[in-house]
Structure 1
Amino acid sequence: MTTTPHPLVTGAQRLAHDLLVPQAERVDQEGVPASHVEAVKRAGLLGVVAPREHGGADAPVAVARETAEILAGACCSTWFVQTQHHTPVKLLTTYDSPVREKLLRPLATGELMAGIAFAHVCAFPRVPVRAVAEEGGWRFEGRVPWYTGWGLNDVMLLAGVTDAAEVVFVFTEAREQPGLTPSAPMRLAALTAARTVSLELDGLWVPDECVVLRTSQAEFALVDLPRAANASPAVFGVADAALDLVAQTPDGRETARSLRARLDEVRQEAYALADRPSPQDSVPERLAVKTRAYDLLRAATTAAIVAGGGRAMALDHRAQRLAREGMFLLVQGQTAEARRTHLGSLASG
């Protein structure tokens, strides 16, 4: 956590207090409104990691983590919609391409918001989406199983895999178009509000000037595996919010104090591992800490349910919403290795 609040942290806290927390149960049932996205944009939070020269804040990673914790703890659905945006921004920042000049500034300033459609690349050796080179561009065929923020995002970062095991990342408009058909919004046990659909790709054509990166599957896995092994700030944000509820009950104060001390310890360890310069060297350690964070998330949300009693079963009660959001975070961005580590921990615990 930062010691002196950064302006973006202060803005995130104000947004959470004034808008996200008071409306979180309604949003959970009705969906993230466009007005929430606009509020996130006005707070400057879509540009938290973007370069200053392109209109972003270029904030330290600690600020990005803290704002993510605040948003997730306030309204996990709103956090999940906007968190998709930061990966396209990072990719455009890291790799030079024609599309960088077109999109980086509007994405950094919040004029546009991006979503992501490439988690399926991690399904290797399966290839849910294929990319085929044609003169002047690429054709995409297959099915994107999950796409969050449909109807809220302006553009999407899409990836497909070639027959030569090359991953091709492109930008395209986040709308129904020739070769791209969305499903009906998915009904999920948690975060239905985040407007998640699947996308059927039937010859979607994207021109070469919209390509941001081409890399081998092996190189992609080398970068993605340690990143996916890190504990998400959202886990700590939702756990903190649950412990706030527990601490408000006379019988729960000591439980909240004890769990929060353990949560702070795991948070510090997780972020220290994430900041290591050679991430590939510590994947098993990262996964172990991530699993401990999950354990504390589960304990915190369970404690909130217990402290709330029968009232916690009502759909307008914060404890049950946080418990369902915690369940969602157990599988969000899950890899096969993370699943094996988590299940192994549960078996031995």
Structure 2
Amino acid sequence: MTTDPENRRTRLVEDAYRLADELLFPAAPEVDRTGVIPAGHWHAIADAGLFGIAAPEESGGPGLEFAQVIEIMEVMTSGCLTTAFTWLQHHGVVIALAGTTNGALRDELFEATTSGRLRAGVAYAGVVPTPPRMRATRVDGGWRFDGYAPFVSGWGIVDLLQVSARDVATDDVIAAILPIEPAPSAIGVTPIHLGAADGTHTVSLKLDGLTVPDDRVVSRVNLDDFFASQNIGVRINGTLPLGLLRRCAALLDISGHTDAARALRERGSVARTRLDEGIPDAALLISARAEAATLALDAAAALVAADGGRGLLRGSHPERLAREAVFTLVAASRPQLKDLLVARFSSG
């Protein structure tokens, strides 16, 4: 007999397919054209419980298997990359709140974020390079954040932002969750207009003496532990190209190119397995991520070729998906990934 928790997990996966096919995909051309994600998308995602998929069962979450979380993320991307990419950032904040030792912050924000009542984004790429772009200096009662975050998605859409910085004294990574409305005067915001997924409302942020009190700090980890945890993030980002492949294959089926669709799905299954196997091995994981990105390009190219001249029309599904496949080459990228992709595309 199926237990209630199992029913809940099954329903979350089923609802992701329903939303992707019935709500997100039909609206994706208009989201792409206008650069605006409808408010109704967020309400529907919240009503389905999909803001809380990363929450563990012991914290009141659904306790999904990692494979189920990955499937939901791929399926949502197959509906609308713009919506899914903005929504994807939210789960990093849910995970941070679930594991924090800051009980007061968790009590304040955990239910609100898992329910989707508050939406969240992240700005952690500033700690990845050495020297870091984002630095934290200890001050009385908290931290001073200074630096630059080049790509932050969801500005004007999310309510909370998790900002990470490296402690100038120890190189530990300090992460804090801040409300961003109204934006603190110490944060300078520069909009960035993207050729694909422009509705993510991506900006660059410059922090100049932003004071963060201790009660907003969600975590402090040493640098090695931070980079070890990034493998999960890279695996999650692998859902973007494989989500696009799902949609390209579905459209190829509709157009009668079933053999092409089957071949792409088989290649996607191999790429998915390699991504999973690479989680404990950063080098293997980056290689698998590069493979998935090139596969998304192949899938979009097959769809454009199958559709012929109509596939070149601005706003058509093939044309949009081709631009979005290019987006997955660089979104949430790493220097090693860029080097691998340059080598792959430049070699014979």
CA distance in 2, matches of 1:335, 1:325: 18
Which residue, 39, 47, 56 being the options, matches 1:51? Answer: 56
Residues 129-208 of structure 1 correspond to what in structure 2 (within 5 A)?
Answer: 129-164=134-169, 165-175=171-181, 176-183=183-190, 185-208=191-214
Residue aligning to 1:286? 285
8 Å CA contact retained: 2:196, 2:327: yes
Secondary structure of the corresponding residue to residue 84 of structure 1: helix
Offset of 1:262 from its aligned partner? Answer: 1.9
Residue aligning to 1:113? 119
Deviations 1:36-85 (A, max 9, x none): 11221111001012134544222111211111111101100000111001
Cα separation, partners in 2 of 1:220 and 1:130, compared to 1, 3 Å: same
Secondary structure of the corresponding residue to residue 49 of structure 1: coil
Residue aligning to 1:66? 71
Secondary structure of the corresponding residue to residue 138 of structure 1: strand
| Gaps in structure 2 of 5+ consecutive residues | 1-6
Residue aligning to 2:228? 222
Cα separation, partners in 2 of 1:227 and 1:86, compared to 1, 3 Å: closer
CA distance in 1, matches of 2:212, 2:301: 46
Residue aligning to 2:29? 25
Task: Report the TM-score when normalising by structure 1.
Answer: 0.90
CA distance in 2, matches of 1:104, 1:166: 24
Identity, in percent, stands at: 31
Partner amino acid, structure 1, of 2:32: D
Task: Report the TM-score when normalising by structure 2.
Answer: 0.90
Which residue, 99, 103, 107 being the options, matches 1:101? Answer: 107
Residue aligning to 1:7? 11
8 Å CA contact retained: 2:12, 2:49: yes
Secondary structure of the corresponding residue to residue 130 of structure 1: strand
Offset of 1:265 from its aligned partner? Answer: 2.4
Offset of 1:228 from its aligned partner? Answer: 2.7
2:216 counterpart of 1:210: yes
Partner amino acid, structure 2, of 1:161: R
Residue aligning to 1:299? 298
Secondary structure of the corresponding residue to residue 83 of structure 1: helix
2:94 counterpart of 1:89: yes
Residues 122-133 of structure 1 correspond to what in structure 2 (within 5 A)?
Answer: 122-125=128-131, 127-133=132-138
Residue aligning to 2:3? none
8 Å CA contact retained: 1:6, 1:63: no
Partner amino acid, structure 2, of 1:179: A
Offset of 1:197 from its aligned partner? Answer: 1.1
CA distance in 2, matches of 1:35, 1:292: 34
Between stretches 292-301 and 189-198, larger displacement belongs to 292-301
Cα separation, partners in 2 of 1:166 and 1:179, compared to 1, 3 Å: same
8 Å CA contact retained: 2:59, 2:98: no
Offset of 1:140 from its aligned partner? Answer: 1.4
Offset of 1:272 from its aligned partner? Answer: 4.0
Deviations 1:188-235 (A, max 9, x none): 111111111112222221110111112233332233257536761121
Between stretches 32-41 and 219-228, larger displacement belongs to 219-228
8 Å CA contact retained: 2:177, 2:218: yes
8 Å CA contact retained: 1:47, 1:55: no
Between stretches 69-78 and 94-103, larger displacement belongs to 94-103
Residues 218-297 of structure 1 correspond to what in structure 2 (within 5 A)?
Answer: 218-225=224-231, 227-228=233-234, 232-250=238-256, 252-274=257-279, 279=280, 282-297=281-296
Cα separation, partners in 2 of 1:8 and 1:155, compared to 1, 3 Å: same
Secondary structure of the corresponding residue to residue 160 of structure 1: strand
Secondary structure of the corresponding residue to residue 100 of structure 1: helix
In the comparison of the two structures, how many residue pairs are matched? Answer: 337
